[in-house]
Amino acid sequence: MRRFTIDQISSKLESALCLELQKIVKSISAPGKGLLACDESPSNLEERFQEIGINNTESTRRAYREMLLSADKSQFSQYISGVILHHEMIHQRTSEDVEFIEFLRRRNIVAGVKVDRGLVHLFNTEDEKITLGLDNLQENCVRYKQEGCHLAEWKCVFSISERCPSQLAMIANANVLARFASICQRTRMVPIVEPEILNNGEYDIDRALQVHEEMLSILFRALNEYHVYLEGMVLKLAMVLSGIKNAIKCTPQIVAEYTLRALRRTVPMAVPAIFFLNGDQTDEEANTVIKIWKNNPENVDKAQAMFLKRVKLCSEASLGKLRVQDNNSLCELNRFNFLSL
């Protein structure tokens, strides 16, 4: 593998651009703060709305998103540094006729947008996936930047089995992630690189560690080959967990140990920020806020209070301060600082 010095990599981008990317990363990676994933597609929201009898219309989706983003400003800004939007939200407005991106800017929250276009089957594999969206990505990123977005998110997905993920799937998806990151940086957006490993299998945590290390090694080789400026990107991924169907459930201490081992062995020190997925939530936990809200204006305050309670738990967890002993659900968030509601 051809290696580049920091100066050589930086020279691929103008120094002013490198500084801009570093500044954006710094603004979203303050201790105790996380990113809010508000990028669910209309089709995904439809499933959640149907559970509580809400019609899935553009107006309803807008109202739900406003309910989340308009929670108490001081608490919201204390726990959340950035919000990842679905592209439908780019031109949606609050009830006071302010675009969501501008609304977030006034709260000193960095806006981002999901730019991939979903998954398709990767030929010659056992139902493995690859992510679409590179066509017109540069033009889209230029437009999103002009509209006030400074982060761009792209997700690739891997499953673990006896023969998966294959080398083909890992290399193909790593190259897609690297191309995405390179394009984003040249349009002055910080790429959120997300290689998600699903935990819907029977494998043990040692197998999960093996896959994480191999996948991350291949990913960072591709990022270097595409001259991605590592100081100007962030990594988003799941903890190293055994499969959900595995009979042996690992303690948080074991999960932390294995996760740190994988990261220390594969992720360059130049990468300034890592965000973790909230992979331990049950369906009931994930839908708590929306079930309180029910598209009823009278329930907004209660729903926002629950939302802020959850992001506070995430903040405390990221600082190592969470000491709640409660088997009721919310404490399952104690290892994650990337929240999806």
Pick the catalytic residue: 20, 40, 236, 332? 236
The whole-angstrom separation of Cα 119 and Cα 66 is: 28
Catalytic residue list contains 298: no
Tokens of 269: 């020190």
SS (H, E, C) 184-213: HHHCCCEEEEEEEECCCCCCCHHHHHHHHH
Amino acid at site 241: L
Tokens of 163: 């023969």
Angle between helices 58-69 and 42-51 (to 10 degrees): 90
Pick the catalytic residue: 40, 194, 316, 332? 194
Catalytic residue list contains 194: yes
The whole-angstrom separation of Cα 200 and Cα 42 is: 24
Name residue, tokens 């066509």. Answer: 135
The whole-angstrom separation of Cα 81 and Cα 23 is: 13
Phi then psi dihedrals of residue 79, to 5 deg: -110, -20
Phi then psi dihedrals of residue 251, to 5 deg: -75, 160
> Which residues have C-beta within 8 Å of that of residue 164, sequence separation ≥ 6?
125, 126, 128, 158
Q: What ranges in the chain are assigned the alpha helix state H?
A: 6-11, 15-28, 42-51, 58-69, 73-79, 100-106, 137-146, 167-186, 205-225, 252-266, 283-286, 288-293, 300-318
Instruction: Tell me the catalytic residues.
Output: 194, 236
